[in-house]
Structure 1
């Protein structure tokens, strides 16, 4: 699969079924020729503005957390990553 094809897929957390956002970038180790992780746009942070749409924060998902790459989605295990916590996450 090409990187350009992967960017079209939704990234979904297998622990709660939540859509994490699109892949923005891949972290590559060019010396070893391996993918170290993927950068994903996280959930929007709430703001006190009129429309309540805070800017999403990017976070890294290590490649070993990728569980399955399917036709429509990439399934990842992101439940305990320190970078990923949504406003309604009760595991904090």
Structure 2
């Protein structure tokens, strides 16, 4: 699978069925070449690269399944701030 294909997939948390967004970046170990984590900017941040915003750093061991359209992850739900 290529990175451009990974970026087209939506990430969904299995714990609470929340849509987290789309993959924006990956973190990998340069020595082994293994993917360490996927980075997903918080939904609703269109210009996430122009300033600070929240992002999800999801360890690759928490990826449950990579399907044709989505990536299922198993992470604790975020606490919503009101």
TM interval, shorter chain, is 0.7 to 0.9
Q: After TM superposition, where is structure 1 displaced by more than 4 Å over at least 4 residues in a row?
A: none
Shift of residue 42, structure 1, vs aligned partner:
2.3
| 1:50 alignment counterpart | none
Alignment gaps of 5+ in structure 2: 45-51
Shift of residue 78, structure 1, vs aligned partner:
1.4
Normalising by structure 1, report the TM-score. 0.72
Structure 2 counterpart of 1:68, from 48, 60, 65: 65
Larger relative contact order (CA 8 Å, sep ≥ 6): 2
| 1:33 alignment counterpart | 33
| 1:16 alignment counterpart | 16
Alignment gaps of 5+ in structure 1: 45-54
Shift of residue 16, structure 1, vs aligned partner:
1.1
How many residues end up aligned between the 2 structures? 75
Normalising by structure 2, report the TM-score. 0.80
Distance in 1, Cα, partners of 2:79 & 2:20? 10
